[in-house]
Chains A and B, each alone.
Chain A
Amino acid sequence: MDKEDKVEWIKCKNCGYLQHSSHRRCLNCKNQSFKTILAQGHCTLLTYTILNAPPMEFRDRKSYALGVVKFDNGIRALGQITTQEELKIGMKLDTTHIKICDNLDGREVFANVFKPIE
Chain B
Amino acid sequence: MNKVAIIGVGHTKFGRLKDKDLLDLLCDASLEAIEDSNTSDKDFDSVYVGAMCPGEFNHMTGVASALVDRISLIPAAADHIKNGPASGGSAVKAGFQAIASGMDDLVLVVGGEKMTHITTPGYVTSTVATVTHHEAERPHGISLPGYAGLLTRVYLEKYNAELDWLSDIAIKNHRNASFNPIAHFQRTIQDFMESAINKGRGNWDNIYDYLNDDKTNPVIADPLRLFHICPISDGAVALVLCNAQVAKKYCDTPVLISGIGQATDRHIVYEREDITILNALKTSSEQAYKLAKKTPSDIDVAELHDAFEILEAVESEDIGFFKKGEGAKAAHEGLTEIDGKIPINPSGGLKARGHPLGATGVAQVAELVWQIRGEAGKRQVQDANTGITCNFGGFGNNIVSILVERM
Contact = CB atoms under 8 A, between A and B. Distances in A.
Given A22-B136, A66-B140, A78 B122 contact: no
The B interface is mostly helix, strand or loop, or mixed, namely mixed
Given A53-B122, A100-B141, A66 B150 contact: yes
Given A47-B153, A50-B219, A56 B145 contact: no
Interface residues of A, number: 33
A80 B139 CA distance: 10
B143 interface: yes
A22 B266 CA distance: 12
B263 to A, nearest CB: 15
Contact of A56 (B125, B154, B275): B125
B221 to A, nearest CB: 5
The A interface is mostly helix, strand or loop, or mixed, namely strand
A100 to B, nearest CB: 7
Interface in B118-143: 120-123, 125-126, 129, 133, 135-137, 139-143
B103 interface: no
Contacts of A51: 141, 143, 145-146, 149, 220-222
Interface in B191-238: 218-224
A10 B221 CA distance: 31
B140 A100 contact: yes
A49 B395 CA distance: 16
Contacts of A59: 121-122
A76 interface: yes
Nearest to B135: A22
B221 A53 contact: yes
Contact of B271 (A47, A58, A76, A101): A76
Contact of B122 (A48, A54, A77): A54
Nearest to B225: A52
B129 A55 contact: yes
Interface in B97-127: 120-123, 125-126
A56 B136 contact: no
Contacts of A116: none
A68 B151 CA distance: 10
B60 interface: no
A18 to B, nearest CB: 10
Contacts of A111: 139-140
B250 interface: no
Interface in B153-194: 153-154, 157
B150 A48 contact: yes
Given A77-B270, A100-B140, A100-B141, A89 B157 contact: yes
B268 interface: yes
A115 B157 CA distance: 22
Contacts of B142: 66, 78
Contacts of B120: 56
Interface of A: 19-20, 22, 27, 46-59, 61, 64, 66-68, 76-80, 89, 100-101, 109, 111
Question: Which 7 residue pairs of A and B lie closest in terms of their CB atoms, listed nearest first?
Answer: A49-B149, A56-B122, A55-B126, A50-B222, A47-B154, A68-B270, A56-B126
